[in-house]
């Protein structure tokens, strides 16, 4: 246990100006100096000294860690306190915390208005997580993580569950999995978060709204067992590559209502890769809609077919509703780009988008099971009592122009024509007579 004593302020060996506590390593001993009181705690266990400083200034204050390596034998509960490290000598982060024993996490930061800045966290193969925050009831607010390096962990380097209104900025992760973030009923922002290249380092996201700005990693997974949905995901100027474990960049395991991307780079590297892939069978769209704006999609696969949008689940469930590519650039090293999935009812819209491989420029084009205009022949059998017959037009919305022409004598009877988002509806004034295929119409419709 850290023990405390006081010395005359002239005997300081650390400059504590502007901080509640300054901690430094002196050989195998860690020393904590309190502003106005001098040397207050020292111990050969960095965990004891740091935690004693935090507890001593709780509920608020700033603990500053000078350059050096700090061996942790137990996790730190940062409470409401700000932890700041001194910049620049070890991997660009001068204060480096190293797990010295097995632990679930290195720093717990699930209080409001906390700041964790300018630190390096080395799990050393012993810590499960670097930064850890979980709120069971109400989400915590305004946690700031800035200029932090996390590596050597055995699970997610950052694990935040039900944490609202927080900012993670200028963070680099090189542990086992990457970042797990559930924003709860609020929002979260990740800026300049880099997950170094690795098979499993990805962003696992859920909650209300999550923004990724200038981030990089091995794909995004949506949905968790505790909160399986994400209402809105926005990515801007990100660099995302496909995950060799899951063969996709955006993997939807829960439900994502809306995805908006702008100015990002997507790299599909492996046979069977997908830009978007749904994973769970549900009775509603797992992806309500996706918009890619001014983004670049590069497919490194040299042969075969690559589906940009596909379902892992076979069947006829409408797992993906719509995907739009506006002013994007699509390029393949040799594989055939398939815009249309064969296993759901999704439709893809391309406008101002260029397929470099085909030297083709798409302008206001729908590809998929739904279109902007359609036509066909519809045949029905009258039963002497039914007056309403429906033709499924397959358009993206209710048509603004349509023509229905009768092709059989019984089809000429008095009737009205109406439309909705799904059908052209033919309503007879009097039920047509019974007959086999005695009602035949040609039809044409356009949005």
The pLDDT of residue 126 is 95
Torsion angle, CA of 367/371/372/374, rounded to 10 degrees? 130
Give me the pLDDT at residue 226, please: 57
Which residues, 6 or more positions from 175, have their beta carbon under 8 angstroms from its beta carbon? Answer: 123, 130, 150, 151, 152, 153, 154, 155, 156, 157, 201
Domains of the chain, residue spans: 197-370, 373-446
> What distance in Å separates the CA atoms of residue 250 and residue 411, rounded to the nearest whole number?
49
Q: Residue 11: its pLDDT value, please?
A: 46
Reported as a single tens digit per residue, the pLDDT across 32-44 is 998 778 788 999 9
pLDDT the model gives residue 305:
75
Confidence of residue 123 (pLDDT cuts 50, 70, 90): very high
Length of the chain counted residue by residue: 447
**Paired strand residues for 330:** 297, 355
Separation CA 137–CA 142 (nearest Å)? 16
In this prediction, residue 47 carries a pLDDT of 96
Write out pLDDT tens, residues 275-330.
888 766 555 567 878 999 999 999 887 777 777 887 655 555 556 778 889 999 99
Q: pLDDT tens digits, residue range 83-96?
A: 999 875 444 568 99
Buried b or exposed e, range 422-434, using 16+ CB within 10 angstroms = eebebebeeebee
Q: What single DSSP character describes residue 340?
A: S
Residue 88 pLDDT = 53
Sole residue written with tokens 């439709």 = 347
148: pLDDT strictly greater than 70: yes
Q: CA neighbours within 13 Å on the CB side: how many for 416?
A: 3
Closest CA to 141 of 188, 205, 210: 188
Distance CA 319, CA 313 (A): 9
CA distances from 229 to 232, 234, 258, 288 (A): 9, 14, 11, 11
Contact 335, 303 (CB under 8 A): yes
Mean pLDDT across the chain: 84
**How much of the chain exceeds pLDDT 70, in percent?**
85
Q: What is the predicted pLDDT for the residue at 3?
A: 47
Work out the pLDDT band at 16, boundaries 50, 70, 90. low
pTM: 0.80
The pLDDT, as a whole number, for residue 350 is: 84
Q: What does the pLDDT read at residue 420?
A: 93
For the chain, state the CA radius of gyration. Answer: 30
pLDDT in tens, 373-420: 788 899 999 999 999 999 988 787 789 999 999 999 999 999 999 999
């Amino acid at each position: 246990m850290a023990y405390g004593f006081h010395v005359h302020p002239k005997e300081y060996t650390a400059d504590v100006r502007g901080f509640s506590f300054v901690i430094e390593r002196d050989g195998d001993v860690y020393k904590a100096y309190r502003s106005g009181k001098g040397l207050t705690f020292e111990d050969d266990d960095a965990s004891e000294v740091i935690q004693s400083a935090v507890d001593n200034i709780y509920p608020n204050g700033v603990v500053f860690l000078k350059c050096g390596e700090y061996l942790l034998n137990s996790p730190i509960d940062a409470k409401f306190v700000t932890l700041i490290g001194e910049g620049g000598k070890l991997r660009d982060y001068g204060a480096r915390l190293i797990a010295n024993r097995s632990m679930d996490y290195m720093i717990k930061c699930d209080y409001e208005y906390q700041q964790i800045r300018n630190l390096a966290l080395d799990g050393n193969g012993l810590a499960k997580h670097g930064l850890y925050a979980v709120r069971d009831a109400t989400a915590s607010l305004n946690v700031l993580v800035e200029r932090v390096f996390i590596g050597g962990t055995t699970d997610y380097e950052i694990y935040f569950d039900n944490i609202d209104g927080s900012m993670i900025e200028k963070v680099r992760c090189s542990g086992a999995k990457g970042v797990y973030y559930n924003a709860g009923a609020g929002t979260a922002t990740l800026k300049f978060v880099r997950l170094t290249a690795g098979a499993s380092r990805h962003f696992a996201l859920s909650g209300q709204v999550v923004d990724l700005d200038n981030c990089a990693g091995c794909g995004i997974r949506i949905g968790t067992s505790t909160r399986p949905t994400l209402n809105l995901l926005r990515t801007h100027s990100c660099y995302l590559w496909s995950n060799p474990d899951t063969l996709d960049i955006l993997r939807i395991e829960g439900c994502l209502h809306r995805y908006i991307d702008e100015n990002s780079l997507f790299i599909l590297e492996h046979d069977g890769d997908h830009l978007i892939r749904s994973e769970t069978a549900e009775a509603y769209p797992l992806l309500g809609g996706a918009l890619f704006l001014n983004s670049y999609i590069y497919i490194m696969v040299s042969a075969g077919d690559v589906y940009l949008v596909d379902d892992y689940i076979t069947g006829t469930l409408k797992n993906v509703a719509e995907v739009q590519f506006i002013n994007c650039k699509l390029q393949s090293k040799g594989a055939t780009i398939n815009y249309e999935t064969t296993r759901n009812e999704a439709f893809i819209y391309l406008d101002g988008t260029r397929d470099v491989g085909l030297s083709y420029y798409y302008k206001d084009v729908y590809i998929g099971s739904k279109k902007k205009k359609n036509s066909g022949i519809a045949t029905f059998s009258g039963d002497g009592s039914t007056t309403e017959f429906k033709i499924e037009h397959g358009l993206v919305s209710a048509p603004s122009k349509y023509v229905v022409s009768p092709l059989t004598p019984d089809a000429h009877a008095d009737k009205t024509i109406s439309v909705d988002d799904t059908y052209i509806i033919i309503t007879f004034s009097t039920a047509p007579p019974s007959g086999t295929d005695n009602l035949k119409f040609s039809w044409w419709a356009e949005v």
